[in-house]
Amino acid sequence: MTLPRIAFALPLVLAAGTAFAAPGAHFIENWDLDSDGQVTLAEAEERRGDVFYTFDANEDGFIDGEEYKLFDEARANDMANEPGHGQGKGQGGIKNAEGGMHLAFNDTDGDGKVSRDEFVTRTKDWIAMMDRNTDGIVTSDDFGRQ
C-alpha cells in the first residue's frame, strides 16, 4: 500500500472526535460530503467505497486478512488519539462507528475477506448502529452521552 493511499484514508477510517469539542464532530466532518452537518446513507456508502479501495492494496476486489490487519491498525491508531478513549463515557456512537468497520461485521459470507459489495452493502446497518433517533441520518446528536 502506498503512502498517499494511507494518508488519504486515515482521516476517513473512523474519524470520530479527535480535536473537536462536540462528540462525533470529526466523524461528521469527514463523512458529511455536502457539509450540512449530517451523514446520509448515500454519503456513507460513497466514503466506505473510498475506504475500501484505499485498503484493497493489491486491488483484487477484496480486503483480505493481511489488508484487514492494516485497516485494523489504522483504526486503532485513530481511536487511540480520541479524547476520552478507553474511559467508556459517552462513547456509544463512536464505538458503534468503530464496530461497523470490523471484519466480522462486514464479512457477510464468512469467507475471511470482504468484497467491496459486502463493505458498501453493510453501510445501512452501520448507519443504523450510530443513529440513536432512527431518522436515517447521523449527526453530532447521535454521539456522546445518551
Backbone angles phi, psi at 137, to 5 degrees: -130, 160
Q: What is the pLDDT along the chain (146 residues), one digit of tens a residue?
A: 554 455 445 555 544 334 445 778 878 988 999 999 999 999 999 999 999 999 999 999 999 999 999 999 998 887 776 554 444 444 455 577 888 999 999 999 999 999 999 999 999 999 999 999 999 999 999 987 65
pTM score, whole prediction:
0.77
Q: Which three cell numbers stand for residue 43?
A: 454519503
For residue 45, the surrounding DSSP H or E stretch is helix 41-55
**Count of beta carbons in the 10 Å neighbourhood of residue 136:** 12
Give residue 31's pLDDT. 94
Give residue 18's pLDDT. 42
Sign of CA pseudo-dihedral 34, 39, 45, 50: positive
